[in-house]
């Protein structure tokens, strides 16, 4: 992947001894890696949600494993890795985006607890051995914008989650009927609830972006 021409995005985080999270993105599409190589608003809102929860002492992932699906630039997972260096973070996306994820891990000096790997939701083999054990937390931001991937994402979540896994899902609403169809698919194996605006970062939120927390049904 040619990183020339990519632009840098910075996100301030609340940890006082940490620098802003920096990620390269291909907003112009010059690297031809698709929409995943851009920082999208739902990712920013989810990143600031985990930042807020961490700063409020409501999210402690020490010794835990976090998996980001469809990580794109890695903005959410890298933010969490920088906030909570005692957790292990795995960023995943299609093969063509793995070099960008690895570059952004390097930019943030997050190698100690962060790695990147290829996970294509449409390939059942990619869902095997993603993490040594079911992750404690799965992050998904703007992963339901393409209707054709709904079933693959729902199947991937069901296969990778364990009984103690929490899924945080964020998306910007674009097509309500299609989003409702994904939620119906997700509800086959998961129970979930929306995260209210008062629970989110007080500034970095939007009426067009929805956050949900889910877990496997018993």
Per residue of the chain (218 residues), give pLDDT as tens.
677 789 999 999 988 777 899 999 987 666 666 677 899 999 999 999 999 999 999 999 999 999 999 999 999 999 999 999 999 999 999 999 999 999 999 999 999 999 999 999 999 888 888 998 999 999 999 999 999 999 999 999 999 999 999 999 999 999 999 999 999 999 999 999 999 999 999 999 999 999 999 999 98
Confidence at residue 4, expressed as pLDDT on a 0 to 100 scale:
77
For 154, the token pair is 């729902």
Phi-psi region of 63 (alpha: psi -120 to 50; beta: other; left: phi over 0): left
Question: Tokens for 186?
Answer: 């997700």
Cα distances (Å, whole numbers) of residue 1 to 23, 119, 128? 15, 18, 26
Distance CA 91, CA 75 (A): 10
Give residue 66's pLDDT. Answer: 98
Q: Between vectors from CA 100 to CA 99 and to CA 103, what angle results, nearest 5°? A: 85
Q: What is the pLDDT of residue 35?
A: 78
Kindly report the CA angle at 93 between 87 and 211, in degrees rounded to 5?
65
**Distance from C-alpha of 202 to C-alpha of 68, rounded to nearest angstrom:** 24
Structure tokens at 126: 């990619």
**Contact assessment for residue 134 and residue 160, using Cβ atoms and an 8 Å cutoff:** yes
Residues comprising the chain, all counted: 218
Query: What is the C-alpha R_g of the chain?
Result: 16
For residue 152, give Cα distances in angstroms to 67, 155, 168.
17, 5, 17
- C-alpha pair distances (Å), 112 with each of 87, 88, 212: 10, 9, 29
What's the confidence (pLDDT) of residue 28? 66
Q: With H, G, I as helix, E, B as strand and everything else as coil, classify residue 32.
A: coil
Distance CA 14, CA 57 (A): 12
pTM for this prediction:
0.95
Beta bridge partners of 172: 209
- For residue 45, the tally of other CB atoms under 10 A from its CB is 24
Residue 15: its pLDDT value, please? 80
In degrees and rounded to multiples of 5, residue 116 shows phi and psi of: -130, 145
């Amino acid at each position: 992947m040619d990183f020339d021409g990519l632009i840098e995005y910075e996100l301030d985080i609340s940890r006082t001894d940490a620098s802003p999270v920096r990620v390269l993105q291909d907003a112009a599409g010059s690297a031809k890696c698709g929409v995943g190589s851009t920082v999208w608003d739902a990712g920013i809102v989810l990143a600031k949600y985990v930042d807020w929860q961490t700063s409020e002492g409501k999210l402690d992932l020490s010794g835990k494993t976090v998996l980001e699906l469809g990580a794109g630039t890695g903005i959410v997972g890298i933010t969490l890795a920088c906030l909570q260096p005692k957790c292990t973070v795995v960023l995943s996306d299609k093969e063509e985006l793995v070099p960008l994820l690895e570059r952004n891990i390097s930019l943030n000096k997050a190698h100690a607890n962060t790695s990147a790997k290829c996970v294509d939701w449409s390939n059942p083999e990619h869902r095997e051995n993603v993490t040594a054990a079911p992750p404690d937390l799965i992050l998904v931001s703007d992963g339901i914008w393409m209707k054709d991937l709904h079933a693959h994402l729902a199947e991937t979540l069901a296969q990778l989650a364990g009984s103690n896994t929490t899924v945080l899902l964020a998306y910007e609403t674009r097509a309500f009927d299609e989003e409702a169809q994904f939620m119906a698919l997700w509800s086959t194996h998961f129970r979930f609830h929306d995260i209210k605006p008062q629970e989110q970062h007080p500034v970095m939120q939007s009426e067009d972006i929805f956050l949900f927390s889910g877990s496997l049904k018993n």
